[in-house]
Amino acid sequence: MKTAFSKFALMVLAYLIPTMILGMVWHFVWFSELYDKLGIYNRKDPIIPLGFTSMFFQGVIIAYLYPYYAQHEHSIRRSLGFSLIMGFFLFTVSTLANAAKIEVSSMSDWLLVQSLFTLIQFTVVGLLIGLVLKQK
């Protein structure tokens, strides 16, 4: 049986691990040329520990809030819905707000690539949180 702390820690990891892996591969490998062309991420040497710290705190917040969202019912569908809500919230902060403040060479490319990233990221996270909390 999972303790409350172990469930919490597993939910944090359910966010942190796929977000870190997908984020690094997506931004630094698959779409690095596009991001260079867009001019959006231009730090020559990204500060990985700072990004990791940001993701860690995001995972802690999600793990803290989910039980309130699902206090009457837990299911993979419910965790997926919660994750997509959180993803949309973070999308508005990380993508829409940046689009309003930072000049990108192609707004449509920026919004498309970031929308896909966010959708994939938070779908995976929602499914993993659902699996972590799945009752046996």
Per-residue pLDDT tens for 51-105?
Answer: 999 999 999 999 999 999 998 888 999 999 999 999 999 999 999 998 899 888 9
Q: How many CA atoms lie within 13 A of 127 on its CB side?
A: 7
Q: How many domains does the chain have?
A: 1
Give the model's pLDDT for residue 22: 97
Query: Across all residues in the chain, what is the average pLDDT?
Result: 92
Domain of residue 36 covers 4-132
C-alpha 89 chain-centroid distance? 10
Q: What is the pTM of this model?
A: 0.91
